Amino acid sequence: MQEQEAFNTPEQPARTPLRELTKVTTGPRAQFSSTLHSSSSHITSSRRQPYSSLKASLRKGFHSSVKSATPDPEGPGIAAFLLTALSFLLIVITVPFSLCLCIKVVAEYERAVIFRLGRLRKGGSKGPGIFTVIPCIDTYRCVDLRTVSFDVPPQEILSRDSVTVAVDGVVYYRVSNPTICISNVENFSHSTRLLAATTLRNVLGTKNLAEILSERETISHTMQSSLDEATDPWGVKVERVEIKDVRLPVQLQRAMAAEAEAAREARAKVIAAEGEQKASRALKEAADVIQESPSALQLRYLQTLNSIAAEHNSTIIFPMPINLTSYMSK
């Protein structure tokens, strides 16, 4: 009976461990199936979502699975790896002579920007001091970090009040980021010079002649701010801008000189008239005082005689006393 029951009892399948059930093969198809499974569970859990959002989530999951399965196209590649290995091999074979080509030195005020097979090396610029390069595959450029000055050539500018003036200046700048100034612009020095000339013309074109002659400091500050903002993507810092000279046309110089001379003459006449007015008031006050006291007139007479005697003249003229004329009139 036991054998018959054992024979009639159906065989139950062996239980598979949970760890084996959770194993998932890697690859785009497996990732896409897992994405579909998560998306379906998301659909059942949130049935109130609109169809468009569910469709977008499915599309996003599919693209993410395909993107994760696609290899990264960036990288040096096999050719670059072979060249690097060959260069290292040549360096090892030619030691110690190869050290002369591998070891470089830059000064305290310099930085070296290194390119390996045309790509910018990680870590930014190198220096100051010693750094190493691989002669066959590395190239570098040294950048001076000291402040550099250059003269802006004279620019013929038409001011706001239609006066033509020639203005020149000087600009002080330095490199703030060596990596950017090498990789972002071909010739940062030449570009900065051209930009300074155009900025000078643009700024002075909005001023009249009086403002150009009197507000040089304000104009310099405006130019410095504009140049610094424009050269910041180049890794260049403009520290200072100065206006050197403002030259006017010869005819305008003569007209301004005549105007200044006329203003000086008018001012001199006003000063002379004010002096005569003050002298007349003082003389009137003196006459009033002398008229009130005859003794003051006698003292003035003696003072006049004293001044005549001090001049050492050959001919001395004595003024007639006033009281004598009064007696003669009687």
Q: What is the 3-state secondary structure (H, E, C) of 23-54?
A: CCCCCHHHHHHHHHHHHHHHHHHCCCCCHHHH
Instruction: Mark whether 200 and 133 lie in a shared domain.
Output: no
Mean pLDDT of the chain: 75
Asked if the structure places residue 1 within a domain, the reply is no
Indicate the range of 90-99, 139-148, 165-174 predicted with least confidence. Answer: 90-99
Per-residue pLDDT for 124 more than 60? yes
Instruction: Mark whether 243 and 168 lie in a shared domain.
Output: yes
d(Cα 77, Cα 167) in Å, to the nearest integer?
55
Strand duo 164-175 + 236-247: pairing: antiparallel
Question: What are 116's strand-pairing partners?
Answer: 119, 138
Asked if the structure places residue 83 within a domain, the reply is no
Per-residue pLDDT for 216 more than 60? yes
d(Cα 129, Cα 131) in Å, to the nearest integer?
7
Give the per-residue pLDDT at 26: 42
Peptide bond just before 50 cis, omega within 30 deg: no
Asked if 114 and 126 touch (Cβ cutoff 8 Å), the reply is yes
Who wins on pLDDT, 52 or 276? Answer: 276
Asked if the structure places residue 70 within a domain, the reply is no
Who wins on pLDDT, 312 or 303? Answer: 303
Asked if the structure places residue 124 within a domain, the reply is yes
- The dihedral region occupied by 212, where left means phi > 0, alpha psi between -120 and 50, and beta the remainder, is alpha
Instruction: Mark whether 162 and 221 lie in a shared domain.
Output: yes
Give the per-residue pLDDT at 313: 63
Asked if the structure places residue 67 within a domain, the reply is no
Give the per-residue pLDDT at 76: 64
Which of 199, 232, 248 marks a domain boundary?
A: 248
Instruction: Mark whether 286 and 324 lie in a shared domain.
Output: yes
Give the per-residue pLDDT at 11: 43
Banded model confidence at residue 266, pLDDT cuts 50, 70, 90: confident
Give the per-residue pLDDT at 10: 43
Per-residue pLDDT for 232 more than 90? yes
Q: Is 315 helix (H, G, I), strand (E, B) or coil?
A: coil
Per-residue pLDDT for 1 more than 50? no
Asked if 141 and 106 touch (Cβ cutoff 8 Å), the reply is no
Task: Write out the residue range of the structural domain in which residue 108 sits.
Answer: 94-144
Instruction: Mark whether 239 and 302 lie in a shared domain.
Output: no
Which of 128, 144, 160 marks a domain boundary?
A: 144
d(Cα 204, Cα 211) in Å, to the nearest integer?
9
Give the per-residue pLDDT at 314: 63
Instruction: Mark whether 100 and 178 lie in a shared domain.
Output: no
Instruction: Mark whether 280 and 267 lie in a shared domain.
Output: yes
Give the per-residue pLDDT at 123: 81
Asked if the structure places residue 183 within a domain, the reply is yes
Number of domains making up the chain: 4
Domain harbouring 174, CATH code:
3.30.479.30
Which of 39, 61, 83 marks a domain boundary?
A: 61
Asked if the structure places residue 82 within a domain, the reply is no
pTM value is 0.57
